[in-house]
Chain A
Amino acid sequence: MQSLKRLRKNRGLGLVFGLFALVAAGQVSANGAIGDHVNDLKGHLGQYSEEVTWLIGKYDGVVDTYEAQGQKAVETQQLVDFWEEVDFHSAIETNYVPVYANIWQGIYGIKQAIEAGKPVDEVRAEQEKLNSAFWQALGAVKLASQFQEKGLLAKIQTTESEPTTMPETLDDIKHRLDRVVAKYAEQLPEAATTIVHDTYLNRFEGVEGALIEQDAALVEDLEKDFNVTLPQALDGKASVDDVRKVVEAMQAKLDRAKSLLLEAEKKRKDVF
């Protein structure tokens, strides 16, 4: 039941402002899972702050119980349920996917440490990482609210939108790769792998022809990343940090690809 709920919550893509550079939106499934609050971030900052405080208290309570009464006294599924309950979840998911992934990583860090019966110090260390991710996420949403107020963030879209240029496509690919890390951190490796395959077939395939004219070796590298390195990382026992390293390396290559294609576009002849 819980996993069904989580799968249903696959809310797709929103806006990203990685390193706070604004990038166009991707897709968001129109299942109504994301509330309208994400289009009025400023009006809900108070609520999000309260939710973060509530979450930190809840996780602290679980770890306290673990410390005082041991593993059997803790229902670890609660750790996932708390995060599923709050509106802040979709606020960060639609705005800054890298931190969203860190939150899932932190939740599962605590959950797995408890389930493995680790010493409480180790559990507390995971809890600290989660708390940092929550505060970082709240900061990101506050910044996003400022951009949104100035009209610099597009409204969160409820239908699929297609990137129309090759640089936009590359940005979209980077964003989708962030979601791969998020899904992996959410313990959904199959969903993560599906995003990789879809991104390759529906996005990268559309730009690699033009890119290979600029740098064949770079395309060869990215082909290997999409079809071997990243799927293998998702298939094996790699940690979230290891998957993130693969993704970050790919994103750096995609940045290089973008600058090459922007240069090439300047030299392209006119249609008429």
Chain B
Amino acid sequence: MQRRAFLHNLAAVGAISCMPIFIQRSLAADGGAVSVDQLPKLEGDITLYLGRGEGGLYENVLEAIRKRNPKLNLKIRRGATAALANSIVAEAKAGVRRADVFWAVDSGAIGLVSDAGLARPLPADLTSQLKPGFQYPQWAPVTGRIRTLPYNTDRLTPEQIPESVMALADSDLSIGWAPAYASFQSFITAMRLLEGEKATEAWLRGVSRQATNYAGELGVVMAVERGEVDLGFANHYYTLRLKNGKPNAKVDLAFTKNDAGCLVNASGILALSDGDLPINFIRYLLTKEVQAYLASEAYEIPLANGVKPPQGLPALDTISPPKVDLTQLADLRPTLNLMRRVGVL
């Protein structure tokens, strides 16, 4: 075991041993999501930096935590995720720490902060509540979103859609995409990391010949549904929400296999200050209740064990997302340079 990992585990054991026995038992039980009833009450001052999230639903979660913990003085600073990550790093360089926890809408921003050495280690009993592949020593993914291929059900059958995202560059399908959209850029970053710069450049050139640009990914999904294009690239929740609002919508989801086309990205949270309060605050976000709420209301994928995915989405273990260290998705600059060079941005 590497010294760093050993120290981390030691710290985790230390953290959990400070807690009352009944909490230790309930939290370390079986690595599944715990109920909020099993958590200690939150008391004291805590400042959260909250990256812009899914409408007001993250706010609903925070308000519910506040109501349940009247002795908690939760202060929130809101902003664009990347800007907050930069603020945290800049504040640290200036010898200031204003945030105790950082909840970011994408894991790239988490990577920026943890790479700066600012994230505190999380106890193992907390990270073990998360699904395999989503257990990180210094941050906790909260909910996930998967890259999908929404396709028009009048124009295509699932069999006509390649299982490899790379094959789409050589297909004759018409494609909708939103290159300026942050999730699309994370997807291209994952492709760059998995397939290399050259293959990604060739893919971008190939797809751009048959692609129509849209401003956002809901726009992509709606264009697919209207039949403007055969299929598109988009996060899963847009299609699920469209189908909920328009049950006869002519759109369904396809998934590629083990490549960037089915990348699961995540929102995530990390602790920036020591002590039980930031860690226990993070525990609230991983409870069955919060995970189920975000799944049913925001159509996000719960990443704590044992919580059902949103309706209309296959279980995560039936999809084969690629193995990517999500925090590496922070390395956006080479992606943007590549996209500009190819002329898609």
What is the minimal beta-carbon distance from A169 to any residue of chain B, in angstroms?
Answer: 7
Residue pair B241, A213 in contact (C-beta under 8 Å): yes
Q: Complex Cα distance A268/B294, Å?
A: 12
| CB of B246 within 8 Å of the partner chain | yes
Residue pair B219, A213 in contact (C-beta under 8 Å): no
Of A161, A164, A205, A270, the residue contacting B218 (CB under 8 A) is A205
Interface size class of A (residues with CB under 8 A): 20 to 34
What is the minimal beta-carbon distance from B243 to any residue of chain A, in angstroms?
Answer: 9
Residue pair B80, A202 in contact (C-beta under 8 Å): yes
Residue pair B297, A269 in contact (C-beta under 8 Å): yes
Residue pair A215, B289 in contact (C-beta under 8 Å): no
Which of A30-38, A64-72, A219-227 lines the interface with chain B? A219-227
Question: Which residue of chain B is the closest to A208 with respect to CB atoms?
Answer: B218
| CB of A56 within 8 Å of the partner chain | no
Residue pair B64, A271 in contact (C-beta under 8 Å): yes
| CB of B343 within 8 Å of the partner chain | no
Residues A194-245 near B (CB distance < 8 A): 197, 200-202, 205-210, 212-216, 219-220, 223, 226-227
Question: Which residue of chain A is the closest to B214 with respect to CB atoms?
Answer: A227
Name the residue among B180, B218, B293, B298 with the largest chain A CB count within 10 angstroms. B218
Q: Complex Cα distance A178/B65, Å?
A: 36
What is the minimal beta-carbon distance from B155 to any residue of chain A, in angstroms?
Answer: 19
Residue pair A216, B245 in contact (C-beta under 8 Å): yes
Of B64, B65, B241, B245, the residue contacting A270 (CB under 8 A) is B64
| CB of B330 within 8 Å of the partner chain | no
B residues near A213, Cβ cutoff 8 Å: 241, 244-245
| CB of A149 within 8 Å of the partner chain | no
What is the minimal beta-carbon distance from A166 to any residue of chain B, in angstroms?
Answer: 5
Question: Which residue of chain B is the closest to A227 with respect to CB atoms?
Answer: B215
Of B55, B65, B222, the residue contacting A169 (CB under 8 A) is B55
What is the minimal beta-carbon distance from A176 to any residue of chain B, in angstroms?
Answer: 15
The number of A-B residue pairs with CB atoms under 8 Å apart is 89
Q: Complex Cα distance A122/B248, Å?
A: 56
Residue pair B290, A271 in contact (C-beta under 8 Å): yes
Q: A269-B296, A271-B293 are in contact. Are A209 and B59 (CB under 8 A)?
A: no
| CB of B136 within 8 Å of the partner chain | no
Question: Which residue of chain B is the closest to A206 with respect to CB atoms?
Answer: B55
| CB of B54 within 8 Å of the partner chain | yes
What is the minimal beta-carbon distance from A210 to any residue of chain B, in angstroms?
Answer: 5
Residues B241-282 near A (CB distance < 8 A): 241-242, 244-246, 249
Of B55, B65, B238, the residue contacting A207 (CB under 8 A) is B55
Of B78, B215, B237, B249, the residue contacting A209 (CB under 8 A) is B237
| CB of A2 within 8 Å of the partner chain | no
Residue pair A162, B78 in contact (C-beta under 8 Å): yes
| CB of A3 within 8 Å of the partner chain | no
| CB of B26 within 8 Å of the partner chain | no
Which residues of A are interface residues toward B (Cβ below 8 A)?
A: 160-162, 164-166, 168-169, 197, 200-202, 205-210, 212-216, 219-220, 223, 226-227, 268-272
Name 16 A/B residue pairs within 8 A (Cβ), A-sorted: A162-B79, A169-B55, A169-B56, A202-B80, A206-B53, A209-B238, A209-B299, A210-B55, A212-B246, A215-B245, A216-B242, A223-B215, A223-B218, A271-B64, A272-B36, A272-B289
Which are the 10 A-B pairs with shortest beta-carbon distances? A271-B64, A162-B78, A165-B56, A213-B245, A216-B246, A216-B245, A227-B215, A166-B56, A213-B244, A164-B59
